Amino acid sequence: MKSENHNNDIVLVVDDSPDALSLIHDTLEQAHMDVLVALEGKQALTIAKRIRPDIILMDAIMPVMDGFTACKALKQDPALANIPVIFMTGLNHTDDIVRGLEAGGVDYLTKPIQPNELLARMKVHLSNARLNNNAQFALDSMGQNLMTFDRSGGIAWATPQTHALMAKARLTPDWQADQLSHLVKDWLDHSPQEGNRLPLSHLEYPLTLKFLGMTEQSEALVKLEDGERLSGAELLRNRLSLTERESQVLHWIANGKTNREIGEILAMSPRTVNKHLEQIFPKLGVENRTSAAGVALRIQANAE
């Protein structure tokens, strides 16, 4: 993570060609980016773990460890997996392009690199990465019990709050591997509709999985619900007779989020968020978002 005083994007350039490195280095410095350099994949992994870059420009064919192998290794590290990787190479066969994308790359540039095209592509992927990181940070930090499962029923990602709730229910790693994965795989094989729930029985503490949809990575996005206590948006929906979407919007309003931030989190436009607020205010008997947030915070405090 960047320091408060560091606003330049950090770019890791991985290439064993001195001429290519020189051209790219000069292009990026002129664009006010900070440049890190590695000559092959293994060295790139070491640098990325020490100084996490915002984006990586990766040559495909290099000695010691090639770019395809290095990219796969990056994507297997949770701390580095979200860094966008753009492949740069003289290879231009379709099979090579597919291989780069399957390794986890987000884009593919053919050498010789055109500086203007490179900067334009980087701008797009840096912007997308920031949006994804902001949304995930919000989910991680604001108490959402969310998680994703792969098609085999394994847990791919979960917020800290989800891990805490699983620990509370003594949902051990062995139980996850031996029973939970089979339950979830069977559930997903039946293509559940949005809102469908899967109760987890035989636990010391009751939990339920609520299906929210599929992610772009073809993983199931699921909410882990506390079987004994309503919280967050569910609590607001229950106490204030709001719709599911209205309760979600109010929940994030109470957590200090702007309409734009709420739109990013809930995958809706800021204008749609505002339309929900127009319905929420009269239901709560308030006139503005500050008063609405106050109502929500009082309900949440009393439920603690």
Assign 3-class secondary structure to 253-273: HHCCCCHHHHHHHHCCCHHHH
The answer to whether residues 86 and 56 touch, using CB atoms and an 8 Å cutoff, is yes
- Residue 253's nearest CA partner among 239, 233, 268 is 233
**Interstrand relation of 85-89 and 55-59 (parallel, antiparallel or unpaired):** parallel
Q: How far apart are the first and last CA of the chain?
A: 33
- pLDDT at res. 255: 85
- pLDDT at res. 284: 94
The rounded distance, in Å, linking the Cα atoms of 222 and 280 is 26
Element at 274 (helix H, strand E) = helix 270-284
Q: Quick: pLDDT tens for 91-138.
A: 766 777 787 888 888 888 888 888 898 999 898 888 887 776 655 655
- pLDDT at res. 215: 80
The rounded distance, in Å, linking the Cα atoms of 205 and 201 is 9
How many Cβ atoms are within 10 Å of 300's Cβ, its own excluded?
18
The answer to whether residues 152 and 181 touch, using CB atoms and an 8 Å cutoff, is yes
The answer to whether residues 198 and 182 touch, using CB atoms and an 8 Å cutoff, is no
E strand map for the chain: 10-14, 34-38, 55-59, 85-89, 107-110, 146-149, 155-158, 197-200, 207-214, 220-226
The rounded distance, in Å, linking the Cα atoms of 250 and 243 is 10
Average pLDDT score over residue span 216-227: 83
* Phi and psi, residue 235, nearest 5°: -65, -45
The answer to whether residues 60 and 87 touch, using CB atoms and an 8 Å cutoff, is yes
Q: Quick: pLDDT tens for 134-180.
A: 556 555 544 568 889 998 999 988 887 888 888 888 888 888 888 99
- pLDDT at res. 70: 93
Average pLDDT score over residue span 212-232: 79
DSSP letter at 79 equals T
- pLDDT at res. 129: 79
Coil, helix or strand for 86? Answer: strand
Name the percent of the chain in helix, strand, coil, to the closest 5: 50, 15, 35
The answer to whether residues 71 and 105 touch, using CB atoms and an 8 Å cutoff, is yes
pTM to 2 decimal places:
0.46
- pLDDT at res. 242: 92
Average pLDDT score over residue span 255-282: 91
Average pLDDT score over residue span 35-57: 92
